[in-house]
Amino acid sequence: MIKSVRSAVTAALAAPLLAVAFAAPASAAPEDVTVSAEVQGNDVQVTFTNNTEQPVFCNLGIADAADRWDRVYDEYFVFFPDDDPFTVTVDDGSYQIDWFCDEIQGSESWGTSRGTAEPIFFTLPFVPDDGDTDDGSLGNLDPGALVGVLGALAAGSLVLGSS
């Protein structure tokens, strides 16, 4: 009799614990934690905005836009509400920023893999250099390349964001 009561008590206590362990994260307000990026040359300044009152555990990944698994930057860290932006330098190319943050002492989550934000996509400009700069002529230049170069010069700095 004691053995069956002990089994019943153990099962009764285990069921709520399992439900908590496998419960879906609480619905977080998307504006509580956000990420934005500003591109200047080959530097990407990433700003986490933590509007909660506590630190959050985060992951930031910058990957080739065509192959999300080919990451050029992947970092896990604890982010406090008053932390400063940080800069990552990457080569020319097309990239995708994915991120997530989880409450350290809670159940809320934010980010691209948590459904509260979209990935940030950006392409760093490529300026062709044929080495022939002595005569000032555009030479035999493809008009499409000229539009890309002029667009990059006009942009100067590109601010991107995710909410």
Which conformational region is residue 12 in: left (phi greater than 0), alpha (psi within -120 to 50 degrees), or beta? alpha
pLDDT at residue 63 greater than cutoff 60:
yes
**Cα–Cα distance, 81 to 52 (Å, whole number):** 7
Q: Which residue has the higher pLDDT, 129 or 33?
A: 33
What local confidence, expressed as pLDDT, does residue 161 receive? Answer: 62
pLDDT in tens, 87-138: 999 999 999 999 999 999 889 999 999 999 999 999 998 444 556 544 433 3
**Cα–Cα distance, 58 to 40 (Å, whole number):** 24
Torsion, CA 12, CA 18, CA 19, CA 23, rounded to 10: 170
CA pseudo-torsion sign 37, 121, 72, 93: negative
In one letter, which amino acid is 6?
Answer: R
Average pLDDT on 127-152 reads 44
pTM of the model as a whole: 0.62
